[in-house]
Structure 1
Amino acid sequence: MAFLTFVLIVLTFLAYYLNQRSLVSPAILFSGGLTLAAIVAWINESIWNLQLDFRTFFVITFGTLEFIIVSYITSFIFDIVSKNHISQRHNSYLTIPSYVARRFKAILLIQILIVLISIITIRHATGIADLMSAINYINYVQNGFIKGQINLPSYFSLLLLFNSAAGLMAGYLFLEDIIINKKFEYILFINLLLGFATPLLTGARGDSIVFLIALTILGYFIVKEQSVWNSANTKYVVLGIVGAVLFLFVFEWSASLVGRNIENSNLGEYISTYLGAEIANLNEFIKYRSFPIHGEVFGQQTFVTILPTLSRIFRFALPEYKLDIPFQILNGHNTGNVATVFYSWLYDFGYMGVGVLAAVVSVIGEICYKIAKQRSGFQIVKLVYSYIGALIALSFFSNRFFENLNVNFIYMIVFWIVLKCILFRREKNK
């Protein structure tokens, strides 16, 4: 593990310098996340009795190196094309008009109403009056821990998506006010909190984590687009670090909220499971199972949330199946059931899948990143990239990229466009 960690650190520095020292480029998010996981796995190497297989080393290092190289080539080609076809980025930062923030008061009322409707819907669908118990039940059924059927109305997921979309847009305005105007807008902060917390109504802590990472990326964009860094902003960096530490404690506590069993683990073991055990689990899969594994459906692990949409569009039968993500016990320690993004790719397509899909993710991420950097100030594409960047950052954890880039993401973009058209409309001169 020590050598893998060292190589990933070197690759992360390579990605950092190849991308103009940006901390939110796709390459740095991908390699940085895996480096963090490798460090945690190295710390727990003896605890988990982790004996790294050379094939695991090969998959992780060459997959990461390919991602960085493809990202650099894509950036190079994009820069050549953009000189002739894309307008140059504005140097001056254009702040969002104050009336936009005021209009978010109406959005806040809608968000609160959505939360209330969602709570009523959850209780009705599960038949459980206690909200925490109802959330636990939904989480257990959705993850296959228990057998059950939940008939949530079709509009339910759209309501939750709207709250998250509105929350992330409000988050950009909130961060801009904090960083540039030195103001704390309470309405925007509550908008943000509701956007962050709404996924927890179905036990989807992962979506809340994506929200936080996306918010961090947006904050980085705002800071980097200022001509001069104000030293007064340093306090917000400190607050961000304190917030991250507090989040680790809240994250463990939230496990009980959504029905996860944490009775037999302390905070260190719990965090290690989520930040480093993925590499150990991937290693077990590579060592003891043959792949690719051909199931009834093409790409059934990788494209699990995309296939249902494709089946409706192209009218083909999609057999019912469950994801093959078994829980692992290593040296007597529960290491969970996630095994990095490489697990799904290897499972469905073998080593070839790693080569092809790493390139696909790299190209998509880099193009969105370059477009987001074209102009300073608020842009819908910045929200889009912040979300995609968050998914790429979580590649060390699971196949979040292809799991979340589905029809719901398209709905989220539509919500952003509609919200911008309504909220950013110029005020009439009185």
Structure 2
Amino acid sequence: MKAVKVFRAFLLIGHYGLFFIVLLLYFLYLNYMDFLAIASQVTQEEEFTKMLGPVIDGISHQKIELNRWNEYRLRFATGMAYLSVLAVWINLRAHQYKELLKWGCFVIMYFPFVVLTGGRQPFMYLIMFSLISFFLVHRRADSHNSFGKELMIISIAVITFLICFLGIGIVNGKIGADANFLKVLVHYAGTNISAFDVYINEMTIPDTPYIGAKTLTPIYGFLHAHGFNVPQFFQYITLFTAFGPVTTNVYTAFYRYINDFGYFGCALIMFLMGFFYTFLYRQLYHYGLKNWMILIYASIAYPIFLIGREERFFNEILATSKISFIVGLLILYKFFEFLNERRSKAK
């Protein structure tokens, strides 16, 4: 229970909460201005919902690019949201219900940042982080796991994701008269495995002198940016396949692994990933499920849940941006921990 007591007073909303709220609002304003700037390069539309589609397409095809400061501000908002979700679970276990609304405001403020990106992935990542962190906090405080309670939390998380999925789809125009909600949902959730089947049966694996053209793009990008004579690959897959009424370029994570490393290499990667996450999970329990360890583990565990959708481990977890995000997340955690210790000494 020591960890609960430490985190119970983390958010000193009366003294520092207003500062972070104003800071996030300012960052949101700057990101919105960045969005308008790049939108003007690809569309003449002035309505926000009509600008989202061209912006998403432009970013995917590397026609336009958001600046680094925009990414840093989004990263900060993400870190605050993740830290706040963990605080909500811990305060919920400690029956500190007044703190839930205080922490929850930072989670809510994260949503506009995600809407400006036009994507659904950050919502998905947030839901996965919430689920994983909840179960770890719940099991630390209660050794007798309640299957019914955990099933209820999973159901709430699924419903929340579907609402976010529907909302952002309507805003960016991907859900409308031509594509209803169920059709879009099935397209995102159920076609990737079928597309992968089409790929391995009908398409030829390219022979390239470069290893990891589809999976190690962050590493190639880093080397290219620092003057090394290597090509700069992009994560976006330009190869589309069609079967029936469906056209897609997402073939599950196995497509990238087989494309880059062959079938044996794909199997080896699966084994190493399983070993890596199992080792981290056991370390969590070995050290008593500490808050900062839950925070980090829950923020990087999503690739194993998305293997049937798309590759996320090499292209995101091993990227320098993710490393800096983890460092920033730990700094935020330690900052609030410092405030809590200073407040305790003052009493």
Shorter-chain TM-score bucket reads 0.7 to 0.9
**After the TM superposition, which residues 10-409 of structure 1 pair with which residues of structure 2 at under 5 Å, given as runs?**
94-103=4-13, 105=17, 106-127=19-40, 129-144=46-61, 148-150=63-65, 152-181=66-95, 183=97, 185-227=100-142, 238=152, 241-260=155-174, 263-291=177-205, 293-295=206-208, 297-313=210-226, 315-319=228-232, 323-331=236-244, 333-334=245-246, 336-376=248-288, 378-405=290-317, 406-409=319-322
CA separation of 1:130 and 1:96: change in aligned 2, threshold 3 A: farther
TM-score w.r.t. the length of structure 1 is: 0.69
After the TM superposition, which of the residue ranges 123-132 and 164-173 deviates more from structure 2? Answer: 123-132
Distance in structure 1 (CA, Å) of the matches to 2:73 and 2:151: 33
Distance in structure 2 (CA, Å) of the matches to 1:320 and 1:238: 42
Give the residue type in structure 2 aligned to 1:207: P
CA separation of 1:172 and 1:249: change in aligned 2, threshold 3 A: closer
Confirm or deny that 1:422 pairs with 2:335: yes
Give the residue type in structure 2 aligned to 1:288: E
Percent identical pairs in the alignment equals 16
Distance in structure 1 (CA, Å) of the matches to 2:251 and 2:71: 27
1:329 alignment partner, SS class: strand
After the TM superposition, which of the residue ranges 314-323 and 180-189 deviates more from structure 2? Answer: 314-323
- Cα deviation for residue 310 of structure 1 reads 3.2
Q: Which residue in the other structure is 1:4 paired with?
A: none
Distance in structure 2 (CA, Å) of the matches to 1:153 and 1:115: 14
- Cα deviation for residue 246 of structure 1 reads 4.7
Distance in structure 1 (CA, Å) of the matches to 2:275 and 2:224: 26
Would you say the 8 A contact 2:3–2:290 is kept in 1? no
Distance in structure 2 (CA, Å) of the matches to 1:411 and 1:395: 24
1:297-345 Cα offsets, whole Å, 9 max, x none, are 43111122332123335723324667435344322x2253211110101
Aligned residues: 334
Distance in structure 2 (CA, Å) of the matches to 1:308 and 1:369: 30
1:101 alignment partner, SS class: coil
Distance in structure 2 (CA, Å) of the matches to 1:197 and 1:221: 28
CA separation of 1:268 and 1:136: change in aligned 2, threshold 3 A: closer
Q: Which has the higher contact order (CA 8 A, sep 6+)?
A: 1
Structure 2's unaligned 5+ residue stretches are none
CA separation of 1:315 and 1:380: change in aligned 2, threshold 3 A: farther
Would you say the 8 A contact 2:24–2:77 is kept in 1? yes
2:11 alignment partner, SS class: helix
Distance in structure 2 (CA, Å) of the matches to 1:322 and 1:374: 36
Tell me the C-alpha RMSD between the 2 structures: 2.9
Would you say the 8 A contact 1:108–1:191 is kept in 2? yes
Distance in structure 2 (CA, Å) of the matches to 1:111 and 1:373: 34
Give the residue type in structure 1 aligned to 2:275: V
Give the residue type in structure 1 aligned to 2:129: A
CA separation of 1:252 and 1:221: change in aligned 2, threshold 3 A: same
1:157 alignment partner, SS class: helix
Would you say the 8 A contact 1:326–1:337 is kept in 2? yes
1:256-294 Cα offsets, whole Å, 9 max, x none, are 423536543333332222222111000000000122x23
TM-score w.r.t. the length of structure 2 is: 0.85
1:225 alignment partner, SS class: helix
Give the residue type in structure 1 aligned to 2:11: A
After the TM superposition, which of the residue ranges 359-368 and 369-378 deviates more from structure 2? Answer: 369-378
CA separation of 1:321 and 1:181: change in aligned 2, threshold 3 A: closer
Distance in structure 2 (CA, Å) of the matches to 1:227 and 1:423: 25
Give the residue type in structure 1 aligned to 2:190: G
1:209 alignment partner, SS class: helix
2:20 alignment partner, SS class: helix
- Cα deviation for residue 390 of structure 1 reads 1.2
Would you say the 8 A contact 1:96–1:378 is kept in 2? no
1:151-206 Cα offsets, whole Å, 9 max, x none, are x3321111111110111011100111223326152121121223355233222321
- Cα deviation for residue 239 of structure 1 reads 6.1
CA separation of 1:376 and 1:183: change in aligned 2, threshold 3 A: farther
Structure 1's unaligned 5+ residue stretches are 1-90
Distance in structure 2 (CA, Å) of the matches to 1:367 and 1:320: 31
2:296 alignment partner, SS class: helix
1:317 alignment partner, SS class: coil
